[in-house]
Amino acid sequence: MHKACPLKDLAPGEALRLETTPPIAVFHTEEGELFAIDDTCTHQDASLADGWVEGCEVECPLHASKFDLRTGAVDAPPAKLPVRVHEVSVVDGDIVVRESEEAPNLPPGLTVHGHESRPS
C-alpha cells in the first residue's frame, strides 16, 4: 500500500506522481473519481501524470497515446500495450493506492527491478 496524499490536497482535475518503482500516477477527475495507473506511457518514457485528462481517459503529453483510467487499455496509438491499473481508496482522509501484482508494461529500453520492456 502506498499513501499518496490527503484527499483535500489533490483537487479535482489534478494528478500526482508517486515515486514508486515503477512510478504510479493518481488522478482525481473533474467528476470527483479517483484512479491510479502506472505513470509511464508504454510507448515511450513519458509521465502520464503530466498528461491531459478528459472524462476517464488520459492523453500522454509526448505522442498523444490515450489510456482508459478505469481499465488501463490503450484508446489511441501509438502505444499498443495497456498500463496497469491500481486499486485506490480513501482511508482516514488520505488517498491510498494498492499496487497491482501484475508485471508492468514498460516502454522499449526501460527496465525496473527485473522487469524488462515487452516488444510492442
Q: What is the residue-level pLDDT of the chain in tens, covering all 120 positions?
A: 999 999 999 999 999 999 999 999 999 999 999 999 999 999 999 999 999 999 999 999 999 999 999 999 999 999 999 999 999 999 999 999 999 999 999 998 887 665 555 544
Cell of 38: 502506472
Cell of 56: 476517464
Q: How distant is the alpha carbon of residue 117 from its chain centre?
A: 17
Amino acid letter for position 62? L
What single string gives the DSSP state of each residue in 18-70? E--SS-EEEEE-TTS-EEEEESB-SSSS-BGGGSEEETTEEE-TTT--EEETT
Residue 73: closest CA among 47, 42, 31, 102: 42
Q: Give domain 2-116's CATH number out of 2.102.10.10, 3.40.980.10, 3.30.70.270, 3.40.190.10.
A: 2.102.10.10
Q: How distant is the alpha carbon of residue 106 from its chain centre?
A: 12
Looking at the DSSP bridge assignments, the partners of residue 83 are: none
pTM: 0.91
